[in-house]
Amino acid sequence: MARTIQHIIQKKHQGERVVALTASDYLLAGVLDQAGVDIILVGDSLGMVTLGYATTLPVTMDDMVHHAKAVCRGVKQALVVVDLPFLSYQSSLEQSILSAGRILKETGAQAVKVEGGQPFMVEAIERLVQIGIPVMGHVGLTPQSVHQVGGFRRQGTTPETEEIILAQALALERAGIFALVLEHIPSSLAAQLTKSLAIPTIGIGAGTSCDGQILVTADLLGLSEWHPPFVKPYANLRSLILDTVQAFAADVRSY
């Protein structure tokens, strides 16, 4: 049965974990879907792993729409969530509605994800939810703020920043998000957030107490040249592909 945001929320109440991974193309999205992944995120991390940028900042709405369309063509069951990229939602309420609406209208995805829990974001999310656009939140390390926070660093490591993240998460829940990504925060804080919220928390580098886990699929598969310290690759596809291509090249050169 195709997943809905209600299925994802129910999982928390039934004590079942949510499995989420990223995709940016048709082929891989189809494999993840066949494997039974609950949520496929077209993350703006595609800017780094698919497009070769150093950060997610250069990613555009056109990039996200292009990749999300390909992913949606490959998915039959999973809930597809698409990141709104940097500066596609922060400048006004109208901009956030038009960007989120474009994702749903043009790609076939069921929800969007936005970073941050500042009051203006909470207001924008409240409006998106009111007009029928499901929103996933994202707090802790928010990569679109990489330069503000001085790198891809763990967040919520002091009592003051813990309090800020906790307050943001509660405000986002009140605004109507259906799930919340917790990125690169201490596991004790993630456990506290998971207990305090009725919606599922989806962790990445946030310990094992979250209601679900998400990884960038290229990191999971060992394809990336670099991956964050909290990632445990489950395969080494980079070396498998290297060996395969070199074997093919050796054959061709011997003909």
Give the interface with ligand KIV as residue ranges (CB under 6 A). Answer: 22, 41, 43-45, 83, 138, 181, 183, 204, 214, 216
Between CA 115 and CA 145 the distance in angstroms is 9
Catalytic residue among 106, 162, 183, 225: 183
DSSP letters along 137-176, please?
A: EEEES-GGGHHHHTSS-----SHHHHHHHHHHHHHHHHHT
Indicate if 183 belongs to the active site.
yes
* Tokens matching residue 89: 């939602």
107 contacts 78 by C-beta, under 8 angstroms: no
Smaller CB separation from ligand KIV, 162 or 183: 183
* Tokens matching residue 232: 């445990």
Smaller CB separation from ligand KIV, 22 or 168: 22
Query: Minimum CB separation from ligand KIV for residue 244, in Å?
Result: 26
Smaller CB separation from ligand KIV, 172 or 245: 172
Query: Minimum CB separation from ligand KIV for residue 122, in Å?
Result: 19
Query: Minimum CB separation from ligand KIV for residue 245, in Å?
Result: 26
Query: Minimum CB separation from ligand KIV for residue 208, in Å?
Result: 16
Smaller CB separation from ligand KIV, 122 or 180: 180
25 contacts 43 by C-beta, under 8 angstroms: no
Between CA 43 and CA 216 the distance in angstroms is 8
Q: Which residue is nearest to ligand KIV (CB)?
A: 43
Active site residues: 183
